Amino acid sequence: MGFCSMKRIHLPLTKEVRSGFRAGEELLLCGRFYTARDMAHKRLYQAIRLKKFLPIDLTDNILYYCGPTPAPPGTVIGACGPTTSKRMDQFTPFLLKAGLAASIGKGQRSEVVIQAIRRYGCVYLTAVGGAGAYLSERVKKAERIAYKDLGPEAIYELYVEDFPVTVAIDACGHSLFKGCK
């Protein structure tokens, strides 16, 4: 499917907008979202549990499961492909409850995460694994903004144009992965 037939979505991802998404739908994201991998998720979760300040506002925002590589000269960011989402499953329900609208990664999610997606009216989006160099071309600005000591696992703020994703699990809990093992 070409870009012309994909739905362009301007972020943030409000509940009204994401409630209209259907599993299998292809989108082009435009605007700001954040990267966060395992260690950043753990720190966000701990901050929520301890009612401490969060370094980012999760409300209506997206976390992209990505640890970008250093930017080569003349580029905004290095390769920034998705990582396996299942590793974040233990933290995801808490982040969704705290207002997170969506996550972007690759692979299936646990039943607990699917239930939380449905409960909080969120979505799970997938990006093509192995396409990190291509996806980096969609990033127009990148800045490491939190947990800088984590290196590539720090939280980055990305501004993207036409970042391609697929709705893998919609707000009703319909999943592209049903029947997959």
**What residues are labeled active site?**
41
127 and 33 Cβ atoms separated by less than 8 Å: no
Name residue, tokens 């947990």: 147
Can you list the positions of beta strands (E) in the chain? 7-10, 26-35, 62-64, 102-105, 123-126, 139-146, 155-169
User: C-alpha distances in angstroms, 22 versus 26, 84, 123, 170?
Assistant: 9, 22, 9, 5
Q: Which two tokens stand for residue 49?
A: 């549990």
